[in-house]
Amino acid sequence: ATTEPDSEVSAVLTAAPAEQVVGYNINLQLAVKDSQGNAITGDNTLSFYALNQAEGVEFGTVTEKDGVYSATVTSKRAGKITIGVKSDSHDFSGVKKEITFIEDRQQVTFS
């Protein structure tokens, strides 16, 4: 049996929080199910990436439990970042989520 990209995959990408201070983590979660609603597990080729403004953006290691793939993302720069998902096993080209990193307004320096 050949494994080819399955178009009947449903994937829901969530980010919590959707807005975060520069240098802190946003938690990404991707819940993946097949056309029958069964969790798709064991996709070790799945990864998250930034579609824009990738400089200074870092992703943590992807972990998977019961078909939910999780990773953290942080940025050294403020701005909106669109997160995408890629995999050798499934087509996630339509899965995107916008997150925002903001400057920490609490860190005011007095000289």
Confidence of residue 104 (pLDDT cuts 50, 70, 90): confident
What CA–CA distance (Å, rounded) separates 33 from 46? Answer: 14
Strand pairing partners for 37? none
Residue linked to tokens 């998250």: 48
What CA–CA distance (Å, rounded) separates 90 from 62? Answer: 16
The two beta strands, 79-86 and 47-50, are antiparallel
Model pTM score: 0.86
Q: What is the pLDDT of residues 73-94, one digit of tens each?
A: 999 999 999 999 999 999 999 9
Confidence of residue 2 (pLDDT cuts 50, 70, 90): very low
Backbone angles phi, psi at 75, to 5 degrees: -135, 145
Q: What is the pLDDT of residues 29-50, one digit of tens each?
A: 999 999 999 999 999 999 999 9
Predicted confidence (pLDDT) at residue 51 exceeds the cutoff of 60: yes
Tokens of 107: 């860190």
What is the fold of 10-102?
Immunoglobulin-like (2.60.40)
CB-based burial label for 26 (10 Å; 0-12, 13-18, 19+) = buried
DSSP state of 1: -
User: Of 36, 98, 48, nearest to 72 (Cα)?
Assistant: 48
Average pLDDT of the chain is 91
